[in-house]
């Protein structure tokens, strides 16, 4: 399935003369252009709403500066070739790749680089058909949907299957390469996936490597960052840990991290969903009148009743196992 996130279309900030110092055609006021762009506000929001990811945030700041300067250069008549912004995001599951791509799309729209600033997420199944003649229309449709925004290709390496001589993935690859070159003014392509597999993919598909200027790697979160992510998610949903719950959650994370299929911030989100269920269950069992404070508060027992403390696996693991079993039955993940 393809998911589309549509950003508001009114975010562009530019006034035609922003940043141009009055009375001179050769001087530009970078500070004024910076101020007028509201860039700091957007980047501060990114800082507040995403925990950690320091190198990623630093990179986004650099790209934003590059675009700001490119616009000023254009104004004083210097070269106008737009920077190429196709990117590659590598990292383990749940490290924030999709979330950052969504933010990036909005920032690029805000800076006037993209018309629409929406994100279209596609995987191999969205681009590649099963039969001859099916791939081109599928890929074309996705490209059309993504124009003016960001096309995010998750686990992009599945497009390339050298073991199958007549794999239709190659057809999709060629179309993508062409559009990345010819329509780079109107589309940013982000390839995402595991670092090692992506390296191999680039090795066999040098056309992609040469079209992608920015490689951003997403590190695993530390325990402190995972805890901060949990607190942030709770706060956004009007919940909070009491001291015991916070301690217990730290212990939970240490155990959960050692289990298979740990997916960084996504596992935190899932854990919180289950904690909320247990809190609700506890409150209903206790009955009587409850104060607002009790509805807000997650207590230690809501965390400790997780099966992870009893040496069990989390539900999401069982789901993942069921999923990979069914993939095996279908003849491999795609």
Ligand X SMILES: Nc1ncnc2c1ncn2[C@@H]1O[C@H](COP(=O)(O)OP(=O)(O)OP(=O)(O)O)[C@@H](O)[C@H]1O
User: In the stretch 168-207, what mask flags binding to ligand X with x, by CB under 6 A?
Assistant: ----------------------------------------
Choose among Mg ion, ligand X, none what residue 240 binds, the Cβ cut-off being 5 to 8 Å by kind: none
Q: Rounded to whole angstroms, how far apart are CA atoms 238 and 22?
A: 49
265 makes contact with ligand X (CB under 6 A): yes
Which one of the spans 95-103, 108-116, 206-214, 278-286 is the region binding Mg ion (CB under 5 A)?
95-103
Please say which residue, 20 or 272, places its beta carbon nearer to ligand X: 272
Q: Residue 98, interface with Mg ion (CB under 5 A)?
A: yes
Strand-pair partners of 189 = 151
d(CA 142, CA 124): 11
| Contact letters for Mg ion, residues 38-57 (x by CB under 5 A) | --------------------
Closest C-alpha to 108, from 73, 68, 80: 68
- Of Mg ion, ligand X, none, which one does residue 303 interact with (CB within 5 to 8 Å by kind)? none
Quick check: 257 binds ligand X (CB under 6 A)?
A: no
- Does 90 help bind Mg ion (rule: CB under 5 A)? no
| Smallest distance from Mg ion to CB 102, Å | 10
Q: Which segment (12-20, 141-149, 254-262, 265-273) binds ligand X by CB under 6 A?
A: 265-273
Residues listed for the chain: 334
End-to-end CA distance of the chain: 13
User: Is 179:211 a contact under the CB 8 Å cutoff?
Assistant: no
**Cα–Cα distance for residue pair 144/58, rounded to 1 Å:** 31
The entry of Mg ion, ligand X, none that residue 270 binds, CB within 5 to 8 Å by partner kind: none
Q: Could you give the string, one character per residue 200-229, with x where binding to Mg ion holds by CB under 5 A and - elsewhere? A: ------------------------------
Q: Which stretch binds ligand X (CB under 6 A): 45-53, 104-112, 133-141, 273-281?
A: 45-53
Q: How far apart are CA 72 and CA 78, in angstroms?
A: 9
50 binds ligand X (CB under 6 A): yes
Looking at the Cβ atoms of 98 and 306, the one nearer to Mg ion is 98
Backbone angles phi, psi at 122, to 5 degrees: -135, 150
Strand-pairing partners, residue 4, are: 120
Q: Locate all alpha helices (DSSP H) within the chain, ordered by sequence.
A: 30-36, 39-49, 54-75, 97-110, 124-127, 135-146, 169-182, 195-204, 206-211, 223-236, 243-258, 264-286, 292-296, 300-304, 315-330
123 binds ligand X (CB under 6 A): no
Nearest Cα to 265, choosing from 43, 117, 273? 273
User: Is residue 219 at the binding interface for ligand X, with CB under 6 A as the rule?
Assistant: no
Interacting span for ligand X (CB under 6 A) from 18-26, 95-103, 130-138, 314-322: 95-103
19 or 96: CB nearest Mg ion: 96
**DSSP three-state, residue 309:** helix
CB 324 within 8 A of CB 333: yes
Return the biggest CA–CA distance within the chain: 74
CA 272 – CA 283 distance, rounded (Å): 16
Least distance in Å: CB of 269 to ligand X? 5
User: Between residues 233 and 283, which has the closer beta carbon with respect to ligand X?
Assistant: 233
| 21 Cβ neighbours under 8 A, 6+ residues apart | 27, 28, 29, 32
Q: Is residue 94 at the binding interface for ligand X, with CB under 6 A as the rule?
A: yes
* Residue from the set 18, 19, 28, 52 that interacts with ligand X by CB under 6 A: 52
Q: How far is the CB of 330 from ligand X (least distance, A)?
A: 20
Summarize as ranges the residues that interact with Mg ion (CB under 5 A): 98
Summarize as ranges the residues that interact with ligand X (CB under 6 A): 50-53, 91, 93-99, 154, 229, 232, 263, 265-266, 269
């Amino acid at each position: 399935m393809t998911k589309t996130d549509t950003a508001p279309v009114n975010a562009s900030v530019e006034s035609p003369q922003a940043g141009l110092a009055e009375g001179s055609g050769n001087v530009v006021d970078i500070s004024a252009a910076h101020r007028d762009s509201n860039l700091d506000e957007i980047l501060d929001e990114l800082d507040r709403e995403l925990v950690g990811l320091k190198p990623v945030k630093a990179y986004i700041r650099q790209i934003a500066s590059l675009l700001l300067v490119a616009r000023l250069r254009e104004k004083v008549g210097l070269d106008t070739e737009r920077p190429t912004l196709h990117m590659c995001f590598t990292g383990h599951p749940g490290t924030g790749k999709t979330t950052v791509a969504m933010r990036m799309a909005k920032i690029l729209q805000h800076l006037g680089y993209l018309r629409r600033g929406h994100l279209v997420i596609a995987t191999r199944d969205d681009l590649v058909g099963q039969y001859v003649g099916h791939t081109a229309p599928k890929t074309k449709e996705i490209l059309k949907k993504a124009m003016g925004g960001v096309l995010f290709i998750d686990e992009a390496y599945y497009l390339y299957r050298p073991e199958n001589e007549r794999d239709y993935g190659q057809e999709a690859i060629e179309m993508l390469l062409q559009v990345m070159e010819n329509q780079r003014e109107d589309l940013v392509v982000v390839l995402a996936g595991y670092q090692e597999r992506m390296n191999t993919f680039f090795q066999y598909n040098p056309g992609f490597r040469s079209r992608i200027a920015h490689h951003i790697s997403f590190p695993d979160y530390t325990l402190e960052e995972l805890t901060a992510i949990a607190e942030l998610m709770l706060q956004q949903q009007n919940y909070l840990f009491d001291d015991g719950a916070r301690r217990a959650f730290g212990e939970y994370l240490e155990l959960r991290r050692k289990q298979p299929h740990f997916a960084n911030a996504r596992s935190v989100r899932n854990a919180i969903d289950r904690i909320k269920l247990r809190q609700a269950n506890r409150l209903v069992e206790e009955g009587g009148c409850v104060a607002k404070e009790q509805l807000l508060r997650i207590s230690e027992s809501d965390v400790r009743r997780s099966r992870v403390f009893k040496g069990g696996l989390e539900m999401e693991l069982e789901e993942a196992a069921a999923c990979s079993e069914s993939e095996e039955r279908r003849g491999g993940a795609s």
